[in-house]
Amino acid sequence: MIRLALFILATAALVTGTVWFANNPGTMTVVWLGYRFDGSVGMVVLGLVLLTMVLMLLWRTWSAISHSPGWLGRLLGSRRRKKGQQALTMGLLELASGDVRQALKHTRAVDKYLEDDTLTRLLTAQAAELDGNDAAAKRQFDAMLQQPDSAFFGLRGLLQLSLKTNDRKSALDYAERAHRLRPRNPSVLVTLFDLLLGVRNWDRALSLLVDAQKAEVFNEVELSRRRALLITAKAEDAITDGENAEAVKLLRKALNAHPDFMGAAVLLARLDIDIKQPAKARDAIMAIWRVAPGGALGALYLESLDGDALSQVKAVEKLIATNPDHPESHILLAETALKADLWGLARNHLEKAMAHNTQARHYRLLADLEFREKNDSSRARDLLVKASHANPDPDWRCGACGAETDKWSVSCPSCHSFGSIDWRAPLRVHNDPATEKSQPVAPLPIEGAPTIDATATNNNTRPAA
């Protein structure tokens, strides 16, 4: 409505002006440079309007011409970027295919068209590393440290080169610097954590778990497991230094962080027995028996008991009441009842244990039972033969290298893997001739991801050192 009113007013003004000039044409004389012009006022006004329009057209034309280099530059720059990106793509593809020469050729094109030192240096360094020229790759990564935008990638490249040459001291320095630039980068966190374990810097590794939790590198179970392992490692050092009271505090803290951690429970019980506090040892074993019974724990529990065989049976019954259906509970009570000459109780629980899985120790106990109860040496010999063909007994073994050790420790004595020792049975090498059934055995854990859960394979009563 407003626009219509304005249009009507403008039209009326134009018509009124035209009519007025028509009724009052007037005359105007212009003399300039010896020339004279006579005409009406209306014609002069029309001429001025036309001249203004011509000047505006000329101005626009001049503006378009004056700005044409920028437009042309943008057009050419777009083409250069397109060629550079194409060269970068081809360089990465050639690098992935292993053709270092072609990759370097495309690298020169990237440098020409994109003029980006970061991309050029990164591609050149990777090509040199693939070609086995680590010195050239290192020079490129070192140059990337000079620019804030590329410093992290340079540190990552230097870190990988140091790990490749087993220069773990330099690798630790590069990992720390990379972590300061990007505290939540998952690959840097994991690498730095492993390097800290190698130098036994438990406190720094514990603090690193805070960043790992924020970055969601590990789930909650793995975080609690790693935290418990690190605290237990500090307890091991305290035991070595003779600080038993501090070690006890640390081990209890580790069990609070990961309640089914058998390694910490075994160390704590062993320490309590050594310092003449068997009751505390039994309490620690009973607490973990609810969630993770194990042969090493059962042996320590028996070692902490005093009194005659019957009193020991009652004490074991109290322990297994916390987890009565577990095979380890049956085998521990069967062994204790056998020592007390309670033949029926021993046989009952031994048969229950063998219903889950048969191992060499089951047949050995059964042979002892047959000989002591019935004085049947022939039957005992047959059972001992079966024991030699049965599934082997579990013991402390490394999940990374498979080595057997006489006691639990945070690091494997053979391969030095962290947290890889667990109470587990080795791969089965013989079948049970009595049942001729193939018993499934879980494969050893992958190196670098050992487990500490021992609820499924804790089937021995051999004492842990």
Mean pLDDT, rounded, for 427-436 = 47
Inside any domain, residue 206: yes
Beta bridge partners of 30: 37
pTM of the model: 0.67
CA distance 455 to 289: 10
Whether 8 maps to a domain, the answer reads no
Arithmetic mean of pLDDT, 363-378 = 92
pLDDT band per the 50, 70, 90 thresholds, residue 103: low
- 88 and 140, same domain (yes or no): yes
pLDDT score at 434 = 42
pLDDT one-digit tens code per residue, 75-93: 445 665 666 566 656 655 5
Task: Give the domain-ending residue among 215, 236, 252.
Answer: 215
Please indicate, yes or no, if residue 208 is contained in any of the structural domains.
yes
89 domain residue, yes or no: yes
Q: Is residue 173 part of a domain?
A: yes
Total domains present in the chain? 2
Quick one: pLDDT at residue 427? 66
Domain identity same for 168 and 136: no
Please report whether residue 125 resides in a domain: yes
pLDDT band at 402 (very low <50, low <70, confident <90, very high): confident
Same domain, 124 and 175: no
318-326: average pLDDT: 94
Question: Which pLDDT does position 97 carry in this prediction?
Answer: 54
133 and 106 together in one domain = yes
Q: What tokens does 170 get?
A: 């330099």
Average pLDDT over residues 353-375: 91
Lowest mean pLDDT among 144-158, 226-240, 419-433, 439-453: 439-453
CA–CA distance, 14 with 322 (Å, rounded to integer): 106
pLDDT of residue 8: 83
pLDDT at 428 over 60: no
- Which one-letter DSSP state was computed for residue 407? S
Do 140 and 168 lie in one domain? The reply is no
- Rounded mean pLDDT of 22-28? 70
Is residue 99 domain-shared with residue 133, that is, in the same domain? yes
Query: pLDDT above 70 covers what percent of the chain?
Result: 76
User: Is 379 part of any domain?
Assistant: no
How large is the average pLDDT for residues 415-440? Answer: 64
pLDDT tens digit sequence for 197-239:
999 999 999 999 999 999 898 899 999 999 999 999 999 999 9
Instruction: Find out whether 192 and 182 touch, Cβ atoms under 8 Å.
Output: no
Last residue of a domain, one of 197, 215, 233: 215
Q: What digits encode the pLDDT tens for the residues 33-85?
A: 777 777 676 677 777 778 888 888 888 777 766 555 554 445 445 665 666 56
- Provide the domain limits for residue 133: 84-144
- In angstroms, the CA 407 to CA 401 distance is 16
- Per the domain annotation, does 196 fall within a domain? yes
Domain boundary, last residue among 153, 185, 215: 215
Q: Is 229 exposed, middle or buried (0-12, 13-18, 19+ CB in 10 A)?
A: buried
On the question of pLDDT at 297 being above 70, the answer is: yes
Q: What per-residue confidence (pLDDT) applies to 319? A: 95
Is residue 432's pLDDT more than 70?
Answer: no
